[in-house]
Structure 1
Amino acid sequence: MSAVTDSGLRQASRRKLLRFVQPTVALLVTFLLLGVPFWLVISTAGKNQAEALNPNLAPPSEWQLFENFAQVFADGRMLPAFLGSLLIMIPAVLGVLVLGSMAAWILARRSSRGLAVVYALAISGIILPPAVVTVVLLLRQLGLAGTPVGMIGVYMGMYLSTVVFFVTGFVRTIPKELEEAARIDGAGPVRVFVTIILPLLMPVLATATILICLYVWNDVFYALFVIGGRLDTLPLNLFQVASAGLYLQNWHLIFAYIILMSLPLLIVFIFAQRKIISGVTSGAVK
């Protein structure tokens, strides 16, 4: 009896130890994966040119973070690039949200084999990246190569699948009786969507908005091929000036530019992280 009691006590103490060790290890791993790169960026951005020549985790001997910010903003043409990013991002995000939510509403409310195939094709864009050469050649044929309209169209085509995926699952959780009651009162499809469905989609649309903004804001690959040399966005401008004489081997300025470029969306993400979690769990999981 005593041996059984001792074994039970050991198992209980082992479980208590695991309850303590597992979250501690998870927090340490998270801190290393996120905290170390973040500290590398901050510390390098606060150094002078000589200290930042070989980026490392050592703190600067004298912090000059805000001086580097001022130099980057003045000499790096950040304001035109910021306006260029807004010019591309805002229409692309609004367009993909409107078209994607309307398409998702139809796909969620009507069931048939044909629409099931359409839905599968619509969300296939999540895992099938667009071919850059084909996109550029098509834009040239349409006369949209090197234009903001062409870049907006590329982003809308790339991220429409994300909105359809999120919103379709969310719409299926909305009771159909709400729409039926509106139709009985004489509301047409457009009015039903605008007055009934769209307000209920705000949590998942907020999630999709933030995610797509992150994708578009940080993209340099597609922007380089579509509008490179004709319109500057922040990542594209960073790529260009980092290859030029201004930032050549000036890692403190490059990292300072990265911080300033990431700051607007970082602030939005901090204030909207609850909407991101609620939108993902309500839309994609359900």
Structure 2
Amino acid sequence: MRTGRSLIQPVAVLLLVAVVIGIPLWLVVVTSAKSQGDALDPSLALPTDGWHFAQNYARAFTEGRVIRAFLGSVSIVVPAAVLVLLFGSMASWVLARRTGAWLAAVYAVAISGIVIPPAVITLVLLLRQLRLAGTLSGMVLVYVGIYLSTAIFFITGFIRTIPHEVEEAARVDGAGPVRTFFTIILPLLRPVLATATILICLYIWNDVFFAFFVIGGRMDTLPLNLFQVASAGVYLNNWNLIFAYVVQMSLPLLVLFAVAQRRIISGITGGAVK
């Protein structure tokens, strides 16, 4: 009986993955290789008039201004992710090591941003008052405020698994709080920081909603360019070019995931479930 279950469970998992991930992925890739007429009605079928990978991807790359959009996305994602992880790590260290009812309330408020959506209209009006609307700095600060809760949630649980003796030994050697954090705590957070980096970069990289209201029309980002050129009619009914653009937009995140994948599982199990 156990042998049968041990064989059925992996097969069931593989089938589930194939249905949930494999079918949509196949639809995107195969449609991106079809001609315009063949892709009018996206389907899982193979192209009937040949593969058009080179033509579709080259046209999507040019008309979608991929290079400018990529640089715009990177200029937002990198500083936003760095600030979220840095401030989140600092706040998590305090929340994990201190006790008290008021700190428990602070932690609850800090992670409430995971389930409570920000008020977009109020956010835009505030940025206008601060003269940050339509600027790179304003967009970065918006993402820092939105995703700081996610970082605190993951990192606080992970820090609680680190023995107190490590910090006590640093204090005995004369290290202050700042030195203890940057030389002892921060290097130990690499697994959970890798996990948080993947999640935060994924959210920011694919965001259209907040980017549209804050910097829409003033900067090029990959999601905004896809939205703008599609709504402008350049890609009207050209599902092959839309999916070709989506594939190119997803490649940097796939590379980031491949680089950090070794630390992702350890970060999730070591922090989020504690």
In structure 2, what is the Cα distance between the partners aligned to 1:182 and 1:27?
Answer: 47
- CA shift at 1:188, angstroms? 1.0
Q: Rg bigger for which structure?
A: 1
**1:135-150 map, 5 Å:** 135-150=123-138
In structure 1, what is the Cα distance between the partners aligned to 2:57 and 2:188?
Answer: 41
- CA shift at 1:211, angstroms? 0.8
- CA shift at 1:285, angstroms? 1.3
Q: Cα deviation per residue 1:88-132 (whole Å; 9 max; x = unaligned)?
A: 111100001110100000111110111110000001111111111
User: 2:77 matched to 1:77?
Assistant: no
- CA shift at 1:20, angstroms? 3.1
Q: Cα deviation per residue 1:216-251 (whole Å; 9 max; x = unaligned)?
A: 000001101111011111001100001123211111
**1:200-239 map, 5 Å:** 200-239=188-227
More off after superposition, 40-49 vs 131-140: 131-140
- The alignment's TM-score, normalised by the length of structure 1, stands at 0.92
Amino acid corresponding to residue 128 of structure 1 in structure 2 = I
User: 2:40 matched to 1:56?
Assistant: no
In structure 1, what is the Cα distance between the partners aligned to 2:28 and 2:233?
Answer: 21
User: Aligned residue for 2:103?
Assistant: 115
In structure 2, what is the Cα distance between the partners aligned to 1:16 and 1:103?
Answer: 48
User: 2:249 matched to 1:261?
Assistant: yes
- CA shift at 1:137, angstroms? 1.2
Match of 2:152 among 136, 139, 164: 164
Q: Cα deviation per residue 1:6-61 (whole Å; 9 max; x = unaligned)?
A: xxxxxx4xx54444334323321221111110110011000011101111111113
In structure 2, what is the Cα distance between the partners aligned to 1:27 and 1:73?
Answer: 34
In structure 1, what is the Cα distance between the partners aligned to 2:3 and 2:79?
Answer: 53
More off after superposition, 19-28 vs 139-148: 19-28
Amino acid corresponding to residue 244 of structure 1 in structure 2 = A
Q: Cα deviation per residue 1:160-207 (whole Å; 9 max; x = unaligned)?
A: 011111111111111111111111221111101011101001111111
Amino acid corresponding to residue 33 of structure 1 in structure 2 = V
In structure 1, what is the Cα distance between the partners aligned to 2:98 and 2:249?
Answer: 43
Tell me the percent identity. Answer: 64
User: 2:7 matched to 1:20?
Assistant: yes
Amino acid corresponding to residue 252 of structure 1 in structure 2 = N
In structure 2, runs of 5+ residues without a counterpart are: none
Amino acid corresponding to residue 204 of structure 1 in structure 2 = V
Q: Cα deviation per residue 1:129-163 (whole Å; 9 max; x = unaligned)?
A: 11111111111111111111111111000110111
Alignment RMSD (CA, Å): 1.2
- CA shift at 1:270, angstroms? 2.7
CA gap 1:171/1:49 in 2 versus in 1, 3 angstroms = same
In structure 1, what is the Cα distance between the partners aligned to 2:197 and 2:10?
Answer: 32
User: Aligned residue for 2:83?
Assistant: 95
Amino acid corresponding to residue 267 of structure 1 in structure 2 = V
**1:32-51 map, 5 Å:** 32-51=19-38
Aligned residues: 273
